[in-house]
Amino acid sequence: MAPRDTFKKLEDDKQLRIMDAAIDEFADHGFKQASVNRMVQKIGIAKGSIFQYFGNKEGLFHFIFNHAVELVRHSLRQVKQETADTDFFQRIEQSLLAGIRFIEKHPRVYRIYLKMIFQEDFPLRTEFLQQVHLFSGEYLKPLVETGLARGELRPDLNVDMTVFFLDALMDRFLQAYCVSFLDAGAGLYQAPEEQIQQKVNEFIRLLRAGMGKPEGEFGQLLRE
């Protein structure tokens, strides 16, 4: 599960090369189809070494997985802090943008995430899905509750369902972005970078229209 001391004692460069090759392999092939043979060949070390470091293939995956979770946690914590004082829709916008930046910085990690969602035979799949689920609860729910308390959201919104919708919409937005980013050249959506901000804007505008508090007393009246 945790890498053996052996691995942690390696020179940093070697550690990084190993992690890099592993992330590559898992991102390209998922867990079962990933080949330790290919990894060690790419890294240029003996086959036995990987097993000395991580016990077995699953141990290696655990390590990469935990590393990825840490990356995501770090990124989310940062956004939450930095946007504490802005309004609900700005926070969502910044979260989306942070997600996009994360994918651009760690596209292979995101690919592993996507594979895990829809591939049944990952070792940590259940724990993983619970973690993802917790994200909605821990991250989005407070945002929604604060937004409601501050009067930035329509007061008739059901909290849990709103969280579900936000989770679904944001996740799918990033999926769509990621697919177009990763498949660049495959012709799908052909989303050029410059249109991203525009799409984010439109996304937020729709959210605001659907969830935001009606502006002014007329809006209020109309909805009642």
Q: Which residues bind a second copy (CB under 8 A)?
A: 28-30, 32-33, 111, 114-115, 117-121, 126, 129-130, 132-133, 158, 161, 164-165, 167-169, 171-173, 175-176, 179, 183, 186-189, 199, 202-203, 206-207, 209-211, 215-216, 218-219, 221-222
Instruction: Kindly list the distances between the CA atom of residue 204 and the CA atoms of 168, 196, 197, in Å, as whole numbers in the listed order.
Output: 14, 12, 10
Instruction: Kindly list the distances between the CA atom of residue 173 and the CA atoms of 7, 43, 81, 176, in Å, as whole numbers in the listed order.
Output: 37, 35, 23, 5
Query: In angstroms, rounded to a whole number, what is the distance separating the alpha carbons of residues 151 and 145?
Result: 10
Who's near 46: CB < 8 A, 6+ residues apart? Answer: 40
DSSP annotation of 44? T
The binder of 37, among a second copy, DNA, none, by C-beta within 5 to 8 A per type, is DNA
Query: In angstroms, rounded to a whole number, what is the distance separating the alpha carbons of residues 215 and 151?
Result: 11
# chain residues binding DNA, by CB under 7 A: 24
Minimum distance between the CB of residue 126 and DNA, rounded to whole angstroms?
19
DSSP annotation of 144? H
Decide if residue 17 touches DNA (CB under 7 A): no
Minimum distance between the CB of residue 34 and DNA, rounded to whole angstroms?
6
Q: Which is nearer to DNA, 41 or 130 (CB)?
A: 41
Q: Which is nearer to DNA, 9 or 224 (CB)?
A: 9
The binder of 56, among a second copy, DNA, none, by C-beta within 5 to 8 A per type, is DNA
